[in-house]
Every structure is written in structure tokens, then in C-alpha cells.
Amino acid sequence: PPPTDAAPRKRDVPWLGLLAGGLLLAAGAAWLSRRLPAWREEAEARRRARADAEPARFERLLGACRDANPHLAYQRLLHWLDAVEPPTTLDALGEITPSLDAAAQALEARLYGADGATDSPWSGHALATALIDAREADRGRMRRTMPVLPPLKPR
């Protein structure tokens, strides 16, 4: 009977399996090293798209209102309006929500009004509240006016 504690003989070692596994590992690493930069670029493009989307622009606008920075709020207001779908104007949103019209006029008076008006402190709370209301009202209007898909089998 052969001894049970005998070391494996050289021909019993699975060299071919180890070689194939190593080659697969090297091929996988090479593929990954070529694909990884493209994945990073795609992820960065998605991050930039999210940062430039309407919800992100709206949050930055509200932040400027919270910071009571009228110049930044006006700049971000115009930037947000560029992202609103379907395209709209401040006047159109003001028709939906009259408080937005008043808040926008107060902002414009603070920025471009008489000398005394431009030195007074500005609170963005009224503008932020009116913007939130107008955004919700505009979304509701969009839902009601969006076209319904035609039937699949017209009569």
C-alpha cells in the first residue's frame, strides 16, 4: 500500500488549469484596464447632466434665496428658467402664481431700482416660497395639458 502522507508527484499538479486561470485573469485585467476610463467618463457625464438638470438648478436657486443674495438669486433664476420644460418665462409663471410676480418685481427693484432701493436688505423667502408654488402649479398644468398617447388600434 502507498503511504498516505506522500507528497503529490509532479505530474499530479494541475499546471494546465493554473496556466488557463492565469491567462483568463490577465485577459480580464487587460479588458478592465481598457474599459475603466470609458466607464469613468460615462459616470462623469451623467454627474454633469444631473448637476445641470432642472431640479439641481432649482435647488441652487433656492439656496441663493436662502442666502439672501439678490444678484446670485437673479442669475440663478434666469439659469433655472433656461432648464424648465416646456420653456417658459417669468411672466408666464407670474400669471399662474401672482405672488411670484410680486416677488420678482421686488427682486428687480432691489437690483435695478432707485439708489435707495438697491442698498436695502433683501430677503429671498418670499421669492423662494412663490417659486415653489409656481413650480408646483406649472407641473400640475403640464400634467393636465400633456397629450395622451393615441390608441394602438384606431377604429
Give the distance, in angstroms, between the CA of residue 48 and the centroid of all CA atoms in the same chain: 7
First CA to last CA across the chain, in angstroms?
88
Rounded to an integer, what distance in angstroms lies between the CA atom of residue 124 and that of residue 114?
19
pTM: 0.63
Give the tens place of pLDDT for each residue, 64-121: 999 999 999 999 998 998 888 777 788 888 887 888 888 988 888 888 876 666 677 8
**138 with 76: CB under 8 angstroms?**
no
Give the tens place of pLDDT for each residue, 20-74: 889 999 999 999 888 888 888 988 888 888 888 888 999 999 999 999 999 999 9
- Cis status of the peptide bond prior to 86, with omega within 30 of 0: yes
